[in-house]
């Protein structure tokens, strides 16, 4: 991504593909992702804010959305991407301090009785396993097999794009160079997946003791709309037990986490609207002042839409499943477009169209046609299978990308590998040599680095859990694995060729 030198990841389309279909993809996805998809994601985050505001501050949903939106939009407008990145850094620290402190107090509540009592409590014991029951297929498939075997490479979701993209690509593109882009992306994954979860998990486990079911939650908070009282209300409910001083810090940390996430999405969405829609199709010669104004207007409009959508949602999981279904099957194409010359703009258009229609069918039409409901994970598998077949057929049978565009892409990105062999041969015929010479293809080494990096992050995550559970032997083993993985990863990355 960093080698492409584009301003947003959507600009990539006209670097990789040719013709009007490339321009269409760039403009369409600017609105589809930057507005519609983005609004849905911000709405799910704002739904969490509504629940926290209702439980901890006694605010109505409208009051929470109004104040959260006004404050976040104001500082997003004033700071831009640089401001968002700088504030993200400090907000992450505040959020972590608040989360750790909240976990410590939640575990030591009189009702919980400390860590030892927590992990031995009858409501908690069954929830401590890192792996699901291998005899229960209906749990094993969606919780373990599907994410590890299919979901990570096949499902597109903002922040977890199989081929990069979205605000992750935006951060990589803003990095000083390729090495910094790689290091920053790995740091994000390590902190996000290895450091952040355990304070939340401990509060969640403690909530199983204090609020064992939804009925107990509804009884404790009778003034909150019963439709809003779902399992995800347990976290803010637990925070009401914190003493005043600590409660203030934790609320500040939650506000920081909310503002950090929403400001990132606002900046990401408005950058699409400005650079990939307005400037590209309406005003190519627009002044910087005009573009800033359009960006500010789009930021406000996005927040308004997200606020209204948040008021309609009842459950964050409901929205998450819809988003996963819409992105099902499109993930692989976002990986292979870097490594296979046959992937074309029509492949992406076909994948997007089919995955969207499948999502609409399963969420709206399937039951209305008289069929029995299908579990969410089976919907996902069907969506992935159908969408993947469609775009691969289009890649082979559809119009090919202009060869000059592919040659320019190879010269700039230097992807290499067997998927670009045909284009490489044409470059050699025209120019006598390849732009990356006879150097070793780095992708296999990069894939090994990816696996080692993932193993290292998972080892830290699970080692932390075993230390918390006082399960010393696996904790020591995984800690050693994490350290060895980190050393090996550093040495491996040092051998990768960077421009």
pLDDT of amino acid 279 = 92
- CA-based nearest residue to 44, from 264, 449, 317: 317
Paired tokens of 1 = 């991504």
Are 220 and 357 found together in one domain? no
Q: What is the pLDDT of residues 2-16, one digit of tens each?
A: 888 888 888 999 999
- CA gap 322, 188 in Å, rounded: 26
- CA gap 356, 330 in Å, rounded: 10
- CA gap 286, 206 in Å, rounded: 55
Mean pLDDT of 86-94: 82
Task: Compare 77 and 197 and report the one with higher pLDDT.
Answer: 197
Are 54 and 194 found together in one domain? yes
148 in any annotated domain: no
pLDDT of amino acid 426 = 92
The DSSP bridge partners found for residue 155 are 328
For the ranges 76-80, 126-130, 378-382, 485-489, the lowest mean pLDDT is seen at 76-80
pLDDT of amino acid 314 = 64
- Reply yes or no on whether the pLDDT at 187 is more than 70: yes
Q: How many domains does the chain have?
A: 4
- Reply yes or no on whether the pLDDT at 97 is more than 80: yes
Q: How far apart, in Å, are the Cα atoms of 367 and each of 142, 168, 315, 374, 378? A: 21, 37, 20, 9, 15
39 in any annotated domain: yes
Q: What is the pLDDT of residues 293-351, one digit of tens each?
A: 999 999 999 999 999 888 887 665 666 667 667 777 788 999 999 999 999 999 999 99
| Separation of CA 39 from chain center | 14
**Which sign, positive or negative, has the C-alpha torsion 470, 186, 168, 446?**
negative
Are 216 and 311 found together in one domain? yes
Determine the length of the chain.
499
141 in any annotated domain: no
Mean pLDDT of 269-296: 90
Are 192 and 283 found together in one domain? yes
Are 253 and 349 found together in one domain? no
Are 290 and 338 found together in one domain? no
User: Taking all residues of the chain, what is their mean pLDDT, rounded to a whole number?
Assistant: 87
Mean pLDDT of 146-155: 88
323 in any annotated domain: no
Can you tell me which residue has the tokens 């990095």? 175
Mean pLDDT of 190-196: 90
142 in any annotated domain: no
- Reply yes or no on whether the pLDDT at 440 is more than 70: no
What is the domain extent for residue 471? Answer: 440-499
Are 86 and 233 found together in one domain? yes
139 in any annotated domain: no
**Position 88 confidence tier, pLDDT thresholds 50, 70, 90:** confident
- CA-based nearest residue to 162, from 408, 344, 414, 339: 339
Mean pLDDT of 451-466: 95
Are 254 and 204 found together in one domain? yes
Paired tokens of 216 = 């107990």
Are 214 and 356 found together in one domain? no
State pTM to two decimals.
Answer: 0.82
- Reply yes or no on whether the pLDDT at 437 is more than 70: no
The DSSP bridge partners found for residue 328 are 155
| Separation of CA 383 from chain center | 19
Mean pLDDT of 99-103: 90
Can you tell me which residue has the tokens 């911000």? 42
Q: Let me know: does 223 contact 490? Beta carbons within 8 Å.
A: no
Last residue of a domain, one of 410, 433, 456: 433
Q: Let me know: does 142 contact 377? Beta carbons within 8 Å.
A: yes
Q: How far apart, in Å, are the Cα atoms of 278 and each of 284, 287, 296? A: 8, 12, 13
Residue 251 has phi, psi (to 5 degrees) of: -60, -40
**Position 22 confidence tier, pLDDT thresholds 50, 70, 90:** very high
| Separation of CA 83 from chain center | 21
- Reply yes or no on whether the pLDDT at 371 is more than 90: no
Last residue of a domain, one of 294, 315, 336: 315
Are 26 and 65 found together in one domain? yes
Alpha-carbon dihedral 291, 297, 302, 308, rounded to 10 degrees:
-170
**Position 175 confidence tier, pLDDT thresholds 50, 70, 90:** confident
For the ranges 112-121, 270-279, 300-309, 365-374, the lowest mean pLDDT is seen at 365-374
Alpha-carbon dihedral 156, 161, 162, 168, rounded to 10 degrees:
170
Paired tokens of 265 = 């999405």
pLDDT of amino acid 5 = 87
In SS3 terms, the chain reads as: CHHHCCCCHHHHHHHHCCHHHHHHHHHHHHHHHHHHHHHHHHHHHHHHHHHHHHHHCCCCHHHHHHHHHHHHHHHHHHHHHHHHHHHHHHHHHHHHHHHHHHHHHHHCCCCCCCHHHHHHCCCCHHHCCCCCCCCCHHHHHHHHHHHHHHHHHHECCCCCCCCCCHHHHHHHHHCCCHHHHHHHHHHHHHHHHHHCHHHHHHHHHHHHHHCCCHHHHHHHCCCCCCCCCCHHHHHHHHHCCCCHHHHHHHHHHHHHHHHHHHHHHHHHHHHHHHHHHHHHHHCCCCCHHHHHHHHHHHHHHHHHHHHHHHHHCCCHHHHHHHHHHHHECCHHHHHHCCCCCCCCHHHHHHHHHHHHHHHHHHHHHHHHCCCCCCCHHHHHHHHHHHHHHHHHHHHHHCCCCCHHHHHHHHHHHCCCCHHHHHHHHHHHHHHCCCCCCCCCCCHHHHHHHHHHHHHHHHHHHHHHHHHHCCCHHHHHHHHHHHHHHHHHHHHHHHCCCCC
Are 427 and 465 found together in one domain? no
Q: What is the pLDDT of residues 230-256, one digit of tens each?
A: 787 888 889 888 888 888 888 888 888
pLDDT of amino acid 317 = 62
85 in any annotated domain: yes
pLDDT of amino acid 479 = 97
- Reply yes or no on whether the pLDDT at 390 is more than 90: yes
Are 285 and 384 found together in one domain? no
For the ranges 115-119, 273-277, 318-322, 406-410, the lowest mean pLDDT is seen at 318-322
């Amino acid at each position: 991504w960093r080698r492409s030198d584009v301003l947003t990841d959507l600009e990539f389309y006209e670097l990789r593909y040719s013709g009007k279909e490339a321009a269409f993809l760039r403009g369409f996805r600017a609105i589809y992702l930057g507005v519609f998809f983005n609004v849905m994601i911000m709405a799910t985050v704002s739904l969490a804010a509504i629940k926290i505001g209702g439980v901890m501050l006694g605010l109505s949903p409208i009051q929470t959305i109004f104040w959260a939106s006004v404050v976040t939009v104001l500082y997003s407008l004033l700071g831009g991407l640089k401001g968002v990145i700088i504030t993200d850094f400090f907000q992450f620290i505040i959020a972590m301090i608040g989360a750790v402190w909240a976990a410590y107090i939640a575990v030591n509540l009189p009702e919980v009785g400390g860590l030892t009592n927590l992990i031995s409590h009858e409501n908690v014991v069954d929830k401590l396993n890192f792996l699901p029951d291998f005899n229960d297929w209906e749990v094993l498939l969606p919780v373990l097999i599907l994410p590890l075997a299919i979901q990570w490479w096949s499902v597109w979701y903002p922040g977890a794009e199989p081929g990069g993209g979205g605000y992750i690509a935006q951060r990589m593109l803003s990095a000083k160079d390729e090495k910094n882009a790689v290091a920053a992306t790995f740091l994000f994954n390590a902190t996000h997946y290895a450091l952040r979860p355990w304070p939340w998990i401990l509060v969640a486990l403690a909530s199983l003791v204090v609020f064992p079911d939804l009925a107990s939650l509804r009884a404790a908070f009778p003034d909150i709309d019963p439709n809003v009282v779902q399992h995800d209300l347990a976290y803010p409910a637990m925070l009401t037990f914190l003493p005043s001083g600590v409660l203030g810090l934790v609320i500040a940390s939650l506000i920081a986490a909310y503002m950090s996430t929403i400001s990132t999405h606002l900046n990401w969405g408005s950058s699409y609207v400005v650079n990939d829609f307005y400037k590209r199709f309406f005003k190519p010669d627009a002044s910087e002042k005009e573009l800033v104004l359009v960006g500010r207007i789009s930021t406000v409009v996005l927040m308004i839409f997200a606020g209204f959508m948040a008021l309609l949602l009842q459950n964050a999981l409901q929205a998450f499943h819809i988003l996963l279904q819409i992105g099902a099957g499109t993930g692989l194409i976002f990986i292979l477009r870097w490594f296979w010359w046959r992937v074309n703009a029509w492949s992406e258009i076909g994948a997007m169209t089919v995955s969207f229609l499948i999502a609409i069918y399963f969420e709206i039409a399937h039951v209305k046609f008289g069929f029995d409901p299908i579990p969410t994970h089976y919907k996902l598998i069907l969506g992935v299978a159908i969408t993947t077949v469609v775009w691969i057929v289009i890649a082979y049978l559809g119009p090919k990308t202009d060869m000059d565009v592919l040659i320019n892409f190879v010269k700039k990105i230097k992807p290499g590998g067997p998927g670009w062999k045909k284009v490489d041969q044409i470059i050699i015929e025209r120019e006598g040599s390849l732009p990356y010479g006879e150097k070793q293809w780095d992708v296999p080494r990069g894939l090994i680095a990816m696996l080692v990096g993932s193993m290292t992050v998972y080892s830290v995550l699970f080692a932390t859990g075993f230390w918390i559970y006082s399960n010393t032997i696996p904790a020591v083993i995984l800690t050693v694995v994490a350290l060895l993985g980190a050393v090996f990863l550093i040495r491996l990355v040092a051998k990768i060729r960077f421009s």
